[in-house]
C-alpha cells in the first residue's frame, strides 16, 4: 500500500477544509487509490476551531514543514506571493511534490517554479488555483487534450458575479450598496480591490490561457477592467436589449496571436453563461472537436477548493510522475493581441441634450466609421436631457474608440460615453 505523507502550510478556510476532507474521506481515498493519505504536519499561525489537531504535529514555523524529511507533498495554502514563493522554492529544492491553490503565485512565477520542479523530478499541481471545485485544469489538460482549444470565456470570480447578480435582481441598488452587502456576507474582503477590479480573475485567466494554448504565462499583457463603473442603469438597459452584464475573463487564439482580457461583457440572456448567478463560477471552452463545453460549480469555499487540492494530492499518489508544466512539452511564444486590435460589438450609453437632430449627428459619425446600429433605445427627456443607448455591429475596437472620441466632441453630448463589449460566442 502506497502512503503519501502530507504537510499543510496554512490552516485558513481552504487549509482547514483540506485537512478535514482528507480525514473524512480517508476510506474512500484508499478505495480509489489502493493507498493512504495522511497529514503528518500542519504549519499555521493559530489552530483552526473546526480542525481536530490532537494527533497531528503542528508548528508556527512554515519552513519546518517544507524541510520535514517525513513529508512527501507540501500543500501551500497561505496565499500572497513573497513568503509562498520562498516556501514553494524550498519545497521543490527538497524534492517534495507541491500542491497549491495560489493563483497569483502561478500566474506570475509559474514558469520558474515549473522548471525547478522538473529539475527536481517532482510535481507542481495547481487545480485549486482556478474556479474552486470546478476541475477545469484537468478538463483542459486531460479531457480536451486531443483538441485545439479555440477560446475560453469564464465567470471566475464569485464576488463580482454576486454583486452584478444582486444589482440586477434589486433593480435600484448601486454598486457600493451591494459591495457592502457582499462584505457583510463574507464574499468580499475589507479591501475588495483584488476582486472588483478584476485582478483575481486576471491571475486565473492568465493560467487558463497558458494551459489552453501552450503559451507562456503573460499576466503583464492582460487587458483588465473591473466592475466598479457598472451602474444600475447599464444593467437595466442591457436587460431591455436582451442581455445580462457579466464580468468575464476571455482568451482567444487568433491568427494575430493570443487575445487575453478581463472586463464586463454583455451576454445574451439565453446563453448558458448568462444563467450563472450569485457566487457561482463557470468556464466555457470552445474547441475544434468537442465544440463548446461548459464547466459550472462553486468557485470558492472550504469544501469546493479542498476538493481540488485533495484531487491533486491523489494525482501525485497515482502517478508519481515528474510532470510539472502547463500541459505542453514546449511553450510557443505567440504575440499578444492588443485590446485595440480586437473585434467586438459594443454597448454605448450617452446622455445628450434633448434637441432635434442630435441622434442624426451621432448616426452620421458612426456611419463615417462604417459602424451600424443593431439595437437602439432612446428614452424620454427629463430636464432637457435624454439618454441614448445603442448596440453596434462587430467592429475593430480602435475604430469604435475613434468614433466615440468624435461623438464625445459634439456640444450636445453631456457626459462621458459608457462602452461595454458584447460577447459573440
Tell me which residues are annotated as active site: 204
How far apart are alpha carbons 350 and 390 in whole angstroms?
9
Contacts of residue 224, Cβ cutoff 8 Å, sequence gap at least 6:
197, 198, 199, 202, 261, 262, 263
The cell numbers describing 414, all together, are 453631456
Cβ–Cβ under 8 Å, residues 55 and 23: no
Dihedral sign, Cα of residue 364, residue 365, residue 370, residue 374:
negative
Cα–Cα distance measured from residue 149 to residue 289, given in angstroms and rounded to the nearest whole number: 9
> How far apart, in whole angstroms, are the C-alpha atoms of residue 200 and residue 130?
10
How far apart (Å, rounded) are the C-alpha atoms in residues 132 and 134?
6
Residues 6+ apart with CB under 8 A from 142: none
Burial class (CB in 10 A: 0-12, 13-18, 19+), 143: middle
Q: What is the rounded CA–CA span in Å between residue 46 and residue 41?
A: 14
* CA distances for 106 relative to 3, 47, 52, 253, 274, angstroms: 27, 27, 31, 21, 29
- Within 13 Å, how many C-alpha atoms sit on residue 292's CB side? 11
Return d(Cα 285, Cα 149) in angstroms, integer: 7
Q: What does residue 15 show for φ and ψ, rounded to 5 degrees?
A: -60, -45
Identify the three-state secondary structure at position 408. Answer: helix
Q: Rounded to an integer, what distance in angstroms lies between the CA atom of residue 425 and that of residue 415?
A: 31
Q: Order of strands, edge to edge, in the sheet holding 2-9?
A: 57-59, 35-43, 2-9, 73-76, 97-100, 124-125
| C-alpha cell of residue 154 | 469564464
Amino acid at each position: 500500500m502506497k502512503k503519501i505523507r502530507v504537510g499543510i502550510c496554512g490552516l485558513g478556510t481552504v487549509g482547514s477544509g483540506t485537512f478535514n476532507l482528507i480525514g473524512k474521506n480517508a476510506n474512500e481515498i484508499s478505495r480509489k487509490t489502493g493507498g493512504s493519505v495522511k497529514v503528518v504536519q500542519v504549519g499555521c499561525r493559530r489552530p483552526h476551531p473546526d480542525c481536530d489537531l490532537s494527533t497531528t504535529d503542528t508548528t508556527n514555523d512554515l519552513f519546518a514543514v517544507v524541510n520535514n524529511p517525513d513529508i512527501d507533498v507540501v500543500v501551500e495554502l497561505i496565499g500572497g506571493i513573497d513568503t509562498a514563493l520562498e516556501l514553494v522554492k524550498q519545497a521543490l529544492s527538497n524534492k517534495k511534490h507541491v500542491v497549491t491553490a495560489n493563483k497569483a503565485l502561478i500566474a506570475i512565477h509559474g514558469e520558474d517554479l515549473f522548471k525547478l520542479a522538473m529539475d527536481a523530478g517532482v510535481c507542481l499541481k495547481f487545480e485549486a488555483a482556478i474556479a474552486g471545485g470546478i476541475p477545469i485544469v484537468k478538463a483542459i489538460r486531460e479531457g480536451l487534450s486531443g483538441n485545439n482549444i479555440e477560446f475560453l470565456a469564464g465567470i471566475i470570480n464569485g464576488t463580482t458575479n454576486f454583486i452584478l447578480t444582486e444589482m440586477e435582481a434589486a433593480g435600484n441598488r448601486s454598486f457600493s450598496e451591494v459591495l457592502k452587502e457582499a462584505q457583510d456576507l463574507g464574499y468580499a474582503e475589507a479591501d475588495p480591490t483584488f476582486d472588483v477590479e478584476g485582478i483575481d480573475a486576471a491571475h486565473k485567466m492568465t493560467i487558463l490561457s497558458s494551459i489552453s494554448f501552450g503559451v507562456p504565462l503573460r499576466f503583464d499583457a492582460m487587458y483588465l477592467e473591473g466592475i466598479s463603473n457598472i451602474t444600475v442603469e447599464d444593467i437595466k438597459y442591457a436587460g431591455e436589449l436582451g442581455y445580462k452584464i457579466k464580468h468575464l475573463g476571455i482568451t482567444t487564439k487568433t491568427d494575430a496571436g493570443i487575445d487575453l482580457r478581463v472586463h464586463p461583457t454583455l451576454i445574451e440572456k439565453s446563453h448558458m453563461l448568462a444563467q450563472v448567478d450569485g457566487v457561482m463560477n463557470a468556464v466555457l471552452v470552445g474547441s475544434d472537436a468537442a465544440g463548446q463545453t461548459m464547466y459550472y460549480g462553486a468557485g470558492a469555499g472550504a469544501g469546493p477548493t479542498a476538493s481540488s487540492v485533495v484531487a491533486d494530492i491523489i494525482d501525485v499518489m497515482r502517478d508519481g510522475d515528474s510532470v510539472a508544466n502547463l500541459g505542453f512539452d514546449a511553450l510557443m511564444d505567440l504575440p499578444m493581441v492588443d485590446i485595440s486590435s480586437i473585434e467586438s460589438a459594443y454597448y454605448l450609453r450617452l446622455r445628450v441634450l434633448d434637441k432635434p437632430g442630435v441622434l442624426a449627428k451621432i448616426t452620421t459619425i458612426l456611419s463615417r466609421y462604417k459602424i451600424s446600429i443593431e439595437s437602439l433605445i432612446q428614452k424620454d427627456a427629463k430636464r432637457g436631457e435624454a439618454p441614448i443607448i445603442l448596440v453596434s455591429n462587430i467592429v475593430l475596437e480602435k475604430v469604435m474608440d475613434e468614433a466615440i472620441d468624435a461623438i464625445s466632441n459634439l456640444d450636445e453630448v453631456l457626459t462621458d460615453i459608457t462602452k461595454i463589449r458584447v460577447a459573440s460566442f
